[in-house]
Chains A and B, each alone.
Chain A
Amino acid sequence: MNINFIKQDKQLIVEITEEIDHHVAEKIRRKVDDEITRYMPRKTIFDFSRVTFMDSAGIGMIIGRYKMMKLIGGSLEIVNISQTVRRILEMSGIDRIIPMAS
């Protein structure tokens, strides 16, 4: 599974290193939820620097984790987004609720 976790100061950095589609999103969802439940971070940061492709499955996956972080009183952020991925996120409008940085 091409996903790395970095934990420091109650921040969980999730680095994804593969194309995010429905097949992969389900695996990411399970792994990340497991990690959040155990570590209870104040903030989860998705590092998308190595995500070269994402379809709408990624939107659902992000919204799901955003809700989970809200539920435990934390926040979610996405960093290092490529232009291609950004277009998808903007189309869904989640760029208005989740902080994102290129």
Chain B
Amino acid sequence: MYDNEMKLEFLSKSCNEAFARITVAAFASQLDPTIEELADIKTAVSEAVTNSIIHGYEDSEGIIKIKGKIIKNTIEIEISDTGKGIENIELARKPLYTTKANLERSGMGFTIMENFMDEVQIDSVLGLGTKVIMRKKIKKHLVNIEEEEFASLGGVS
């Protein structure tokens, strides 16, 4: 069972990019992340949502779904679309690779997600859509270390 869970659904409009990352950041904030960790999450979400909008739906209207889960001190974010899917995931993951250079896309989306999150999993089926699952462990602050040690010794914190 998860400690907490949320679901979000919105139209694939570019003005929702800010809405998505701010909402996920608000959900993540219960893990008490640092400003930097929060920025990492916001950036990774922004990249995934932008990919769904411009690559998945190619600027046509569709639905983007986000599921957020908190498992102990790890946040899991699943971002999915029912767009056109990724032809070659290996290639898409490569830094600076883009199919939309004309739109001034830098090809850094997945590289940023991989650098800012601990784990990035991409599932995609041509014609059916893409699902990106990302996980990030939020480091506990110093204050909590004693509590954690106590718990690992069999105590209840």
Contact = CB atoms under 8 A, between A and B. Distances in A.
Contact of B105 (A21, A60, A83, A88): A60
For chain A, which range describes its interface: under 10, 10 to 19, 20 to 34, or 35 or more residues? 20 to 34
A19 interface: yes
B39 interface: yes
A23 B106 contact: no
A53 B42 contact: yes
Interface in B42-74: 42-43, 46-47, 50, 53-54
Contacts of B42: 53
Contact of B46 (A21, A29, A64): A21
B36 interface: yes
A55 B36 contact: no
A19 B108 CA distance: 18
A22 B59 CA distance: 12
Contact of A84 (B39, B50, B105): B39
A56 B104 contact: no
If over half of A's interface residues share one DSSP class (helix, strand or loop), that class is named, otherwise mixed; here it is helix
Contacts of A81: none
A69 B36 CA distance: 33
B15 interface: yes
Interface in B5-29: 14-15, 17-18, 21
Interface stretch (B80-88, B109-117, B136-144, B146-154): B109-117
B39 A55 contact: no
Interface in A26-61: 26, 29, 53, 55-57, 59-61
A92 interface: yes
A3 to B, nearest CB: 16
Name the residue in B21, B43, B95 with the highest tally of chain A Cβ atoms < 10 Å from its Cβ.
B43
A56 B47 contact: yes
Q: Which 4 A-B pairs have the closest CB atoms?
A: A23-B14, A60-B104, A59-B106, A56-B108
Given A22-B50, A53-B42, A59-B108, 7 more contacts: A25-B104, A29-B104, A53-B39, A56-B107, A56-B112, A57-B105, A61-B104
16 contacts: A21-B17, A21-B50, A25-B104, A53-B43, A55-B43, A55-B46, A55-B112, A56-B106, A56-B109, A57-B106, A59-B106, A61-B104, A63-B106, A83-B36, A84-B36, A92-B96
